[in-house]
Structure 1
Amino acid sequence: MMYEQQQQQQVRSKRQMERRRMNRIDQVEDYNENNSSDKQQLEVVDLSGMSLDTLPNPPLNLAIISKLDLSNNNLQSIPESLTARLLNVVMLDVHSNQLKFLPNSIGCLSKLKVLNVSGNLLHSFPRTIENCRSLEELNANFNQLSQLPDTIGFELVNLKKLAVNSNKLVFLPSSTSHLTNLRVLDARLNCLHSLPDDLENLINLEVLNVSQNFQYLSTIPYSVGLLISLVELDVSYNKITALPESIGCLKKLQKLSVEGNPLISPPIDVVDRGVDAVKEYLCNKINGTQKTSPKKKSWFGKLTKCGTFNGGSLPADGGEGYIMPSYRPIDGMASPRYMGMFSPRRLFSPKSYFSR
């Protein structure tokens, strides 16, 4: 009886999903038929979570769509003809599908500001994505990206958020340092071996996360300490042994995560005291004022201090010590007369053996 009820529930769920899909498609068609004025815009077309394997092809003027949500389906590709006609789309969400590539016609989306392609099977981006010069947010988390377009930073000049975590990136292109409007860079859970050297150009960057690149990332460039707007820095779970001293200059830095690294500088006791202590330690290293452990004083120094090897008169307080009245040549000192004077018994005796 219980099994039959479960089957009936599954059938009802499938029917409801199918009715939902058809209703949405009908709404799109009705809107197209009843609103022929170019002044009116279709704000959102939502076809998410409908188990679509392919996209429907209604007689819709795609140019009136500003937001298109195709997320949480089973799409393996997006037709070139579809994206080529989305001339006014501002947001395109295709996350959680089975996409292995994006159409080259995505470069036609000159007004696109938000692109979410996370949770797919993408290995790379088409070079035409560089034509999306209005793009402000690119979310490509949880894919199989091994590289980003070399010139991405030269073209996507309005990009404010670049999220590429949980991929297979070995490096970030050097052009990344030209994304001067970038505020968030999330590249954790990759295979990064290094970061671009001239990151100081990212003058608006507030959040930098390159954590969990594990055995690959062993150094952080000095330029990280020149990111004048940086508020959060996460370099945890890498192979970093020393933080660049320039991090001590990050006045706006409020959150620093460095756990999971074999850090030597700063030492763990400094890290445990928090971000301000780390900044102070690194800043002192830059200024050359970092305190080091005091050296042990030798017995010779102690003897000198108490006057044992000082030439001249006896101490003012009346204490006794060895006084060398004048220089004597080594030949004379080596004679039998003077050999006995270096005996420890005589050396530390309060008597004077060198009076004239």
Structure 2
Amino acid sequence: MMCEEQQQQQMRFETRDGRKMNGKNQIKVEEEEDEAMNQLEIVDLRGMNLDSIPINPTINLAAICKLDISNNNLQSIPESLIARLLNLVVLDVHSNQIKFLPNSIGCLSKLKNLNVSGNLLQSLPRTIENCRSLEELNANFNKLSQLPDTIGFELLNLQRLSVNSNKLIFLPHSTSHLTNLRVLDARLNCLRSLPQDLENLINLQVLNVSQNFQYLSVIPYSIGLLLSLVELDVSYNKITALPESIGCLKKLQKLSVEGNPLVSPPLEVFEQGLHVVKQYLCDKINGSSKTSPKKKGWFGRLGKCTTFNGVNVRDVDREGYIMPNYRSIDGLASPRYMGMFSPRRLFSPKSYFSR
């Protein structure tokens, strides 16, 4: 453990004007420097082999907007310290030995970026839901077995959720309510399934659920309503058939499926490129293939409601998506109609669609 004098020598601070101060023996604050200290924004303590966080009494904790204590030997973060960082925007504690986060993290109402990757976390505190300004959460390389059940109901500004290399068995149902989410990385877990109501993730561009190996065998049909999806990685799972709804993903540019025992689409279809794969799946939706089984899923019933019906093979363009008789669902997938395409709602007695 470093002595206090060594810690103070190596502590790095940065003010709003970019001026760096390196203290020797002790940080001396003179009257002319008071204003600069009050404007302290960044505290950089990364890579100092710290076992605990040194707190200098001259530092105005409420003025700090970024705290970087990554790459140390920390096992915990003091509750009292976090509770006083009222204006913190970025908190980086990656690559430590932290086993739990303090409940006071819920006091960080301005926090936008939280990096807790490379620790020993088995769970996240429920109070993290109070960090409603949070835009990026990186919890990769931990021991997480679950996420807070209602995390998606509260973190509505979250744009990037990275939880790869953990022990997650499922993603909470509330995940499907993260309407601003753009990137969801849940690879290298033990996922058995994905939330059924994925259609609410109207801004999702990248979805990676690869390398769940023998656990993940089915992708929900609602994936076909992720209208902003650009990249989909489901490689190295136990998936035997892709949902036909993937054929309706107009913006999809990258599809990774290697390492699966896929039967549908067959290998020869994949060898012809993504646009052929999407056309193949789109043909099956519209019953163009004689070998296509009768639709039993809710997406097949959606076709009966005139959203995808009345389309012949010749009407499908090379992207396998644009159809002259196709009625756009872009407007219906707005937050105003969130959950409208849920199977439970779609086929309830008070259906939103006429038969």
Aligned residues of 1:32 and 1:61 also touching (Cα < 8 A): no
TM alignment of 1:244-283, pairs within 5 A: 244-283=243-282
- Contact kept? 2:237, 2:260, Cα under 8 Å: yes
The structure with the larger Rg is 1
Q: Cα distance 1:210–1:33, how it changes in 2: closer, same or farther (>3 A)?
A: farther
CA shift at 1:290, angstroms? 2.5
- Name which of 43, 47, 53 aligns with 1:55: 53
- 2:297 maps to none
Q: 1:178 Cα deviation (Å)?
A: 0.4
Does the 8 Å contact 2:40/2:64 carry over to 1? yes
Counterpart for residue 81 of structure 1: 80
The DSSP-based 3-state class of the residue aligned with 2:284 is: helix
Distance 1:34 1:196, change over 3 A: farther
TM-score norm. by structure 2 comes to: 0.74
How far apart, in 2, do the equivalents of 1:117 and 1:156 lie?
Answer: 17
Contact 1:41/1:66, CA 8 A, preserved across alignment: no
Contact 1:142 1:164 in 2 (8 A): yes
Q: Within 1, Cα distance between the matches of 2:35 and 2:27?
A: 15
Classify 1:98/1:237 alpha carbon distance in 2 versus 1 (closer, same or farther; 3 Å). same
Q: CA deviation at 1:43?
A: 2.5
Change (3 A) 1:71 1:32: farther
**CA separation of 1:235 and 1:102: change in aligned 2, threshold 3 A:** same
CA shift in 2, pair 1:281/1:108, >3 Å: same
Q: Which amino acid aligns with 1:255?
A: K
Which secondary structure does the structure 2 equivalent of 1:57 belong to?
A: coil
Partner of 1:209: 208
Cα distance in 2 for partners of 1:292, 1:263 equals 17
Match of residue 135 from structure 1? 134
Q: Quick one: structure 1 residues 31 and 210, their matched pair in 2 at CA, closer, same or farther if it must change by over 3 Å?
A: farther
Q: Which amino acid aligns with 1:44?
A: I
Q: Relative to structure 1, is the Cα distance of residues 31 and 182 closer, same or farther in structure 2, using a 3 angstrom cutoff?
A: farther
Match of 1:41 among 30, 39, 42: 39
Please tell me whether residue 71 in structure 1 is matched to residue 70 in structure 2.
yes
Q: Secondary structure at the match of 2:215?
A: coil
Aligned to 2:149: 150
SS of residue paired to 1:130: helix
Q: Distance in 1 between matches of 2:142 and 2:273?
A: 34
In the alignment, structure 2 segments of 5+ residues that lack a partner are 14-21, 293-355
Aligned to 2:184: 185
Alpha-carbon deviation of 1:275? 1.3
The alignment-based identity, stated in percent, is: 76
How far apart, in 2, do the equivalents of 1:121 and 1:57 lie?
Answer: 24
Q: Distance in 1 between matches of 2:258 and 2:9?
A: 48
Query: Per the alignment, do residues 292 and 22 of structure 1 end up closer, same or farther by CA in structure 2, a change over 3 Å counting?
Result: closer
* Letter of the 1:269 counterpart: E
Aligned mates of 1:78, 1:269 — CA distance in 2: 54
1:219 aligns with 2:218: yes
Query: Residue type matched to 1:198 in 2?
Result: D
- 1:21 corresponds to: 10
Q: How does 1:289-308 map to 2 (within 5 A)?
A: 289-290=288-289
Listed one character per residue, the Cα deviations across residues 305-339 of structure 1 (whole Å, up to 9, x for unaligned) are xxxxxxxxxxxxxxxxxxxxxxxxxxxxxxxxxxx
The Cα of 1:291 is off from its aligned counterpart by 5.9
Quote how far apart the aligned CAs of 1:49 are. 0.3
SS in 2 for 1:147: coil
Cα distance change on mapping 1:34 and 1:133 into 2, 3 Å: farther
**Which structure carries more helix by proportion?**
1
CA deviations over 1:262-303 (Å, ceiling 9, x no partner): 00110011112221111010000011112659xxxxxxxxxx
TM-score, L = length of structure 1: 0.74
How many positions carry a matched residue from both structures? Answer: 279
Deviations 1:13-68 (A, max 9, x none): x9xx8685256673894569755449963231100000000111211210010111
Q: Is the 8 A contact 2:37 2:60 kept in 1?
A: no
Q: Deviations over 1:90-139 (max 9, x none)?
A: 00000000000000100000000000000000000111100000000000
Shift in CA distance, 39/226, structure 1 to aligned 2, threshold 3 Å:
farther
Distance 1:22-1:193 versus aligned 2 partners, 3 A rule: closer
| 1:247 match: secondary structure | helix
Instruction: Tell me which of the two structures has the higher relative contact order, counting C-alpha pairs closer than 8 angstroms and 6 or more residues apart.
Output: 2
Letter of the structure 2 residue corresponding to residue 252 of structure 1: K
Does the 8 A contact of 2:8 with 2:27 survive in 1?
no
Question: In structure 1, how many angstroms separate the alpha carbons of the residues matched to 2:260 and 2:43?
Answer: 46
Separation (CA, whole Å) in 2 of partners of 1:22 and 1:138: 26
Question: 2:42 corresponds to which letter in structure 1?
Answer: V
In structure 2, distance between residues paired with 1:52 and 1:129: 25
